[in-house]
């Protein structure tokens, strides 16, 4: 938030009020800093749990979406006379993804494939042998009359 006041009035007590208000509002405490020039008040949150992150998103979308809303937000925190001239809300999500799964065990797959091929060949050979044996038996059992 860029605020149109002298940066010397943003004291340690004012920072403490803002930190306490953030804690009451979303359940997490930020690191609050103020830099001179035009007073820039920055609230940085790290490692928010899911509930606090949702609440922060709601505050950002409602109270901190306009300069007037941000001024009212600071007033509610006990910082009267801090007119906000600019508000910027930035989210940086630093998500760690789990490592990829291990590649498939090709030795097991090759063993299964070889076993199935051999079994298929054995079945075909046995079927062919049974066909020829049955065909031979039929020819021999017929006697001339």
> For 24-79, how does the pLDDT look when each residue is reduced to its tens digit (9 = 90+)?
888 888 888 777 767 788 888 887 888 888 888 888 888 888 888 888 988 888 88
Q: Report residue 122's pLDDT band, with 50, 70 and 90 as the boundaries.
A: very high
Position 121 confidence tier, pLDDT thresholds 50, 70, 90: very high
Closest by CA position to 43, among listed 23, 62, 66, 61: 23
Give the start-to-end residue ranges of the domains of the chain. Answer: 2-86, 104-140
What would the DSSP string read from start to end of 46-101?
-S--HHHHHHHHHHHHTTTSSHHHHHHHHHHTT-TT--EEE--------PPPPPPP
* Token code pair at residue 24: 């009451």
Over 60: is that where the pLDDT of 142 sits? Answer: no
Confidence of residue 90 (pLDDT cuts 50, 70, 90): confident
| 3-class secondary-structure state, position 124 | helix
């Amino acid at each position: 938030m860029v605020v149109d006041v002298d940066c010397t009035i943003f004291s340690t007590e004012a920072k403490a009020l803002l930190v306490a208000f953030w804690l009451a509002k979303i359940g997490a405490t930020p690191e609050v800093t103020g830099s001179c020039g035009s007073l820039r008040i920055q609230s940085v949150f790290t490692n928010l749990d899911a509930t606090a992150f949702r609440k922060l998103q709601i505050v950002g979308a409602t109270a901190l979406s306009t300069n007037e809303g941000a001024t009212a937000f600071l007033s509610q925190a006990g910082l009267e006379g801090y007119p906000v001239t600019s508000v910027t809300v930035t989210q940086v999500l630093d998500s760690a993804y789990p490592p990829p799964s291990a590649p498939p065990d090709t030795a097991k797959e090759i063993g299964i494939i070889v076993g199935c091929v051999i079994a298929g060949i054995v079945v075909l050979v046995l079927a062919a042998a049974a066909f020829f044996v049955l065909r031979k038996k039929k020819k021999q059992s017929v006697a001339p009359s």
